[in-house]
Amino acid sequence: MKINFLAATIFLGLSCASTSIVFAADQWLSFSSEQKSRITSTERLTPIRIIESQAYDNAAAGGLWLPLPDGRRIYARTISQNSQDNDHWTFVGSIPARKQSVVITFGRNAVFGSIPVGDNTSVRIVTQAGKLYIAERLPKNIALDRLKSHDSVMAPDYLIPPKPPLSEQDLQHNLALVMQAASATTPAVVDVLVGYTPGLVRELGSVDAVNTRINYLVAVTNRAYSDSQVNGRLRLIGTQQVNYTDSTTDDAALKDLTEASGTSSLATLHSTRDTQGADLVALLRPYRANQGACGVAWLNGGGLQSYNVNMQGSGYAAVSDGTDEEAGNYCEDITFAHEIGHNLGLAHDKADSGPGAFTYAYGWRQTLDEGSFNTIMAYTADDQQRVPYFANPRITLCNGNPCGDVNEADQTRALNITMPIAANFRPTKR
């Protein structure tokens, strides 16, 4: 069913009086003929307008034509068109000769998306301060994880929690969950609650834009699961603004989030987790260089601990999002999936991490003569480019190469074990 938006059309970034844009009958996205692109420290932003209702109709009819700033158009065939709630829907599409998926999430007054344009690069649709742009990363800028992989001074983006008590009954319960999931035809559903700060509202322009952004990040994560052949998905069960600062380090934010109680500004996330039955909780903040990295999460099962339902007490992550223009660094859209991956027992590549919940729960990266890559959980080295997949040796989406190693990097196998357990961290309330 088509979502009943307050307005059938989203006009962001441009006013009707200030542009001479004329839409064709089936055109859903157009560039301004009057407002020019602007360059920031990390990207080129080109103002656009979107007719959401036309995008919905086009997607339902089979796909979307995606105009690019260089004048090209790319056609994305509809894979799915799903409504997250009455305010948001997501288009997932495939482009011929491109292995990566298109993901675009529409809200009442905001849109976010990623469009692969070749050579493992993408342009993005972004909403900033209530205005809509096509964003192209500048070649001179690199994502923060690449900086981290070459800087031993920076702390890793995970912490290993204390080992929880584990009885024989707990072990039998875990085994039953995994055995049940192995024969299930439906994916394991992990419920996630996302808190966000007032700073993120200021950054994006409205609460609606933040909620659209969060729905998009969850959609990106779920598409990565699907493309990686993971039999599991996240379900966003709620978002909540909390009066927390953006200036603390990631480690401090994770500690505050985990230990919040009483009158703490983050305590409401704990109570909402209880009432809504959230298995995992993430705190989303705008990225600032002083935070240290792009986020930090508890690596449940880290150090080859047995992943079990008693780890629900460390089902927390602090995630940074977006760009620090002054520092010239940014966090990728896949960061949310990366940090949640730690909660689900996944480690980085073996060169940059100790083990996760299993000996094969490492990310995978390869430096090749052509087509070097790193998967979602692996840090970038040399001239590798990120591919939006979890390590899986049975798929060859990584520039035609296997995306993992059967002994070292098979995170799909790991997730198919840990996600059914994490889905039982808290009783489902829906």
Cβ neighbors of 9 (< 8 A, separation 6 or more) are 51, 52, 53
The structure tokens listed for 285 are 């903040």
Of the candidates 81, 113, 137, which is a domain's last residue?
137
60 lies in some domain: yes
Domain check: are 107 and 202 in the same one?
no
Decide if 286 is inside a domain.
Answer: yes
Same domain, 271 and 348: yes
Helix axes 411-422, 168-182, angle to 10 degrees: 120
Q: Based on the domain organization, do 185 and 118 belong to the same domain?
A: no
pLDDT at 168 exceeding the cut of 80: no
Indicate whether 126 and 226 sit together in one domain: no
109, 137, 165 — which closes off a domain? 137
Domain boundary among 104, 137, 170: 137
Domain contains 11: no
> Rounded mean pLDDT of the chain?
88
> What are the tens digits of pLDDT across the range 217-273?
999 999 999 999 999 999 999 999 999 999 999 999 999 999 998 888 899 999 999
**Same domain for 183 and 254?**
yes
Task: Please tell me whether residues 155 and 206 are part of one structural domain.
Answer: yes
CA-CA distance, 272 to 423, in Å (whole number)?
17
| Of 48, 84, 81, 89, the residue nearest 64 (C-alpha) | 81
Q: Summarize the confidence of residues 99-107 as an average pLDDT.
A: 95
- Same domain, residue pair 370 and 242: yes
- Domain extent at residue 179: 146-422
Residue 183 lies in a domain: yes
Give the C-alpha separation, 251 to 391, whole Å. 26
What's the DSSP call for residue 403? B
**8 in a domain, yes or no?**
no
- Is residue 123 domain-shared with residue 42, that is, in the same domain? yes
What's this model's pTM, rounded to 2 decimal places?
Answer: 0.91
More confident residue, 42 or 365: 365
Indicate which CATH number applies to the domain containing 235.
Answer: 3.40.390.10
* pLDDT given at position 413: 97
In a domain, 3, yes or no: no
pLDDT-derived band at 5, boundaries 50, 70, 90: very low
- Is residue 9 in a domain? no
Pair 272, 234 in one domain: yes
Instruction: Kindly state the percentage of the chain with pLDDT values over 70.
Output: 89
345 and 211 share one domain: yes
Provide, rounded to the nearest whole percent, the portion of the chain with pLDDT above 90: 69
Structural contact between residues 83 and 106, judged by C-beta atoms closer than 8 angstroms: no
Within-domain flag for 6: no
Say whether 21 sits in a helix, a strand or coil. Answer: coil
Q: Looking at the 3D structure of the chain, how many domains does it have?
A: 2
Q: Give 306's DSSP letter.
A: P
Do residues 368 and 402 both lie within one domain?
yes
Is the same domain home to 174 and 268? yes
